[in-house]
């Protein structure tokens, strides 16, 4: 770790001994941090390190238990997001807060003074969006926009309030490489104007690329600060987790076996006005293979997972096949009985019931597929609690799930640890087919490495693994084959070694075809 200047003189924002307690637990413990005018400052840390709690205090969502905040050297209290905005702090959250049925201008108006005419908001939003390289049509409905365009709305909405500091939480997680490059140009322009950016990201390569300084949190404390340009991704990850993060080894997953998962001209209409219909999806996943499906969020990934998992069965039985059996009309349990496992995108409420214990969640997910192991008493269906808790303990040990007790509520775990348990819950069955949607969404480097290696190891053992992900780093780490979904259509699958980020970006934009024209188009850019 390279030493950096430690003086907070002239800081735009400084926090001293900032602490936030939840009962006896210190989510943030005596944090000292400062942000200079005109810098892009990275905030790094594992899941549960205290990043979210810290920025919520900076934006007025939470009140500190102790410590002080100084704005331009003057102590201040930030009692609400409105107070933060009036002070000069804007924030763009990871999950957008937009109403899809409203226009761009109408969404922006909701966060501004109600006396400002909508026409004036639309005009000013259009001017700002073009000035910062974030083109938007203020009269377009949000439901018709891509995820990248929706993020522009959030940024323009923040800029309309003329902030001196903008907090960005995982801003590139839903962007194509080309969209991310455009965002970085915008951030450089903001820095050139003397504005500051607090940048939260698990993508360490982009932190190295765009950030001037970085502060690292671990277990609610500041463990160091550095110039990320003088570090490597590995050294930054080591600072975050306190140990070396192992590299994912995908060797041994290239030998294809029998086709274990297949979609044959899978078509499904959009179920809601804002969902995406699937159009003629064809794919094959062989034993020993990891097929990764890339794409910008909102292009049919969730709908594809629902169709393949049986959450929403198909009208055609032969549209989905698992181990040579047509399962299009079967539900999730029927497909699980054939040896399939599923990990949905949303941890809370979809993959796990947060109020229930880990062992109870294990029963909910595997009651039918593991009935003999977990259920006794014949027709009475008495749960074998000893067996269930032993399985939960085994899964936690295998995936290094860190928790507060032997069998705590799922909601008490950090996001990364709950994700490790959910993935481990499926791996423990040794499924012949595993379908995972966003396996490491919002997960720190250490947890992500463990999950990705587990997926690779499962394929190496002879299973067929399908990974749906928006993280290109993840895709290149685990995939043997890569396809891209765009507007409900799936491209051909290409060997991972034959694709670059630029080619995948073109496919994300809807450019389909064979490898030769794809390569020519990439070269032209």
Q: Which of 181-195, 295-309, 362-376 has the lowest mean pLDDT?
A: 362-376
Average pLDDT of every residue of the chain:
87
pLDDT digits (tens, 9 = 90+) for 260-285: 999 999 999 988 776 889 999 999 99
For residue 378, the model assigns a pLDDT of 59
Alpha-carbon span 38 to 55, nearest angstrom: 19
Mean pLDDT within 402-412: 85
The CATH fold assigned to 13-241 is Rossmann fold (3.40.50)
Beta bridge partners of 284: 262
Q: What tokens were used for 452?
A: 């990705």
Top pLDDT among 382 and 521 is at 382
Q: Is the pLDDT of residue 192 over 90?
A: yes
Of all residues in the chain, what percent carry a pLDDT higher than 90?
55
Q: Is the pLDDT of residue 434 over 60?
A: yes
What is the 3 state secondary structure string of 196-215? EEEEECCCHHHHHHHCCEEE
User: How many Cα atoms occupy the beta-carbon half-sphere of 167 within 13 Å?
Assistant: 22
The enclosing H or E element of 447 equals helix 445-460
Top pLDDT among 378 and 22 is at 22
Backbone angles phi, psi at 476, to 5 degrees: -70, -25
For residue 213, the model assigns a pLDDT of 96
429-466 burial string, b = 16+ CB within 10 Å, else e? Answer: bebbbbbbbbbbbbbbbbbbbbbbbbbbbbbbeebbbb
For residue 7, the model assigns a pLDDT of 59
Show Cβ contacts of residue 219 under 8 Å, excluding neighbours closer than 6 positions: 29, 48, 49, 50
Q: Are 490 and 483 in contact (CB under 8 A)?
A: yes
Q: Is the pLDDT of residue 111 over 90?
A: no
Q: What tokens were used for 229?
A: 């340009």
Q: What is the DSSP string of 18-47?
A: EEEEETTEEEEEEEEEEE-TT-EEEEEE-T
CA dihedral over 266, 267, 271, 275, signed as positive or negative: positive
Vertex 346 angle, CA 345 and 351, to 5°: 95
- Stated pTM of the model: 0.72
The enclosing H or E element of 392 equals helix 385-399
In terms of average pLDDT, the best of 133-137, 272-276, 459-463 is 459-463
Beta bridge partners of 320: 263
Q: Is the pLDDT of residue 1 over 50?
A: no
Give the confidence band of 518 by pLDDT, cuts at 50, 70, 90. Answer: very low
For residue 519, the model assigns a pLDDT of 45
Q: Is the pLDDT of residue 2 over 60?
A: no
Kindly report the CATH class assigned to 259-524. Answer: alpha beta
Give the other-Cβ count within 10 Å of 325's Cβ.
Answer: 13
Backbone angles phi, psi at 43, to 5 degrees: -115, 115
Give the confidence band of 152 by pLDDT, cuts at 50, 70, 90. Answer: confident
Question: Residues of CATH 3.40.50.300 domain(s) within the chain?
Answer: 13-241, 259-524
Q: Is the pLDDT of residue 247 over 80?
A: no
Give the confidence band of 395 by pLDDT, cuts at 50, 70, 90. Answer: very high
């Amino acid at each position: 770790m390279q030493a950096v200047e430690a003086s907070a003189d002239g800081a735009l924002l400084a926090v001293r001994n900032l602490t936030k307690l939840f009962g006896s637990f210190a989510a943030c413990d005596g944090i000292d941090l400062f942000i200079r005018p005109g810098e892009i400052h990275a905030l790094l840390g594992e899941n549960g390190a205290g990043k979210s709690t810290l920025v919520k205090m900076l934006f007025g969502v939470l009140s500190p238990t102790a410590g002080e905040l100084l704005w331009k050297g003057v102590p201040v209290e930030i009692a609400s997001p409105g107070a933060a905005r009036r002070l000069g702090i804007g924030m763009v959250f990871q999950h957008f807060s937009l109403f899809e049925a409203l226009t761009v201008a109408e969404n922006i108006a909701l966060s501004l003074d109600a006396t400002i005419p909508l026409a004036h908001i639309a005009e000013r939003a259009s001017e700002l969006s073009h000035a910062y390289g974030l083109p938007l049509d203020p009269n377009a409905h949000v439901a018709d926009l891509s995820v990248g365009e929706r993020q522009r709305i959030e940024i323009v909405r923040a800029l309309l309030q003329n902030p001196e500091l903008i907090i960005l939480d995982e801003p590139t997680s839903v962007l194509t490489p080309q969209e991310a490059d455009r965002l970085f140009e915008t951030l450089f322009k903001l820095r050139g104007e003397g504005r500051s950016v607090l940048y939260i990201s698990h993508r360490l390569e982009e932190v190295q690329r765009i950030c001037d300084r970085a502060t690292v949190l671990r277990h609610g404390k500041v463990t160091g600060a550095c110039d990320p340009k003088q570090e490597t991704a590995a050294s930054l990850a080591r600072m975050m987790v306190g140990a070396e993060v192992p590299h994912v080894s995908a060797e041994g997953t290239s030998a294809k076996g029998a086709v274990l998962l297949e979609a044959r001209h899978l078509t499904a209409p959009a179920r809601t006005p804002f969902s995406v219909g699937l159009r003629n999806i064809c794919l094959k996943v062989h034993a020993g293979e990891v097929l990764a499906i890339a794409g910008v969020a909102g292009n049919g990934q969730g709908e594809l997972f629902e169709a393949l998992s049986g959450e929403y069965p198909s009208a055609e039985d032969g549209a989905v096949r698992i181990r040579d059996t047509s399962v299009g009309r079967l539900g999730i349990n029927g497909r699980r009985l054939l040896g399939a496992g599923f990990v949905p995108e949303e941890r809370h409420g979809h993959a796990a019931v947060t109020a229930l214990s880990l062992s109870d969640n294990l029963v909910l997910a595997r009651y039918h597929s593991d009935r003999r192991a977990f259920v006794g008493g014949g027709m009475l269906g008495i749960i074998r609690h000893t067996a269930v808790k032993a399985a939960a303990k085994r899964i936690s040990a295998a995936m290094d799930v860190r928790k507060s007790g032997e069998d705590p509520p799922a909601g008490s775990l950090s996001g990364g640890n709950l994700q490790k348990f959910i993935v481990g819950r499926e791996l423990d069955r040794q499924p012949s087919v595993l379908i995972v949607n966003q396996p490491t969404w919002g997960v720190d480097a250490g947890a992500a490495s463990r999950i990705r290696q587990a997926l690779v190891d499962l394929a190496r053992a002879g299973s067929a693994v399908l990974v749906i992900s928006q993280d290109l780093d993840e895709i290149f780490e685990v995939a043997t084959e890569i396809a891209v979904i765009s507007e409900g259509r799936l491209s051909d699958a290409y060997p991972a070694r034959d694709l670059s980020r630029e080619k995948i970006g073109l496919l994300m934009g809807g450019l389909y075809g064979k490898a030769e024209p794809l390569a020519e188009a990439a070269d032209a850019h």
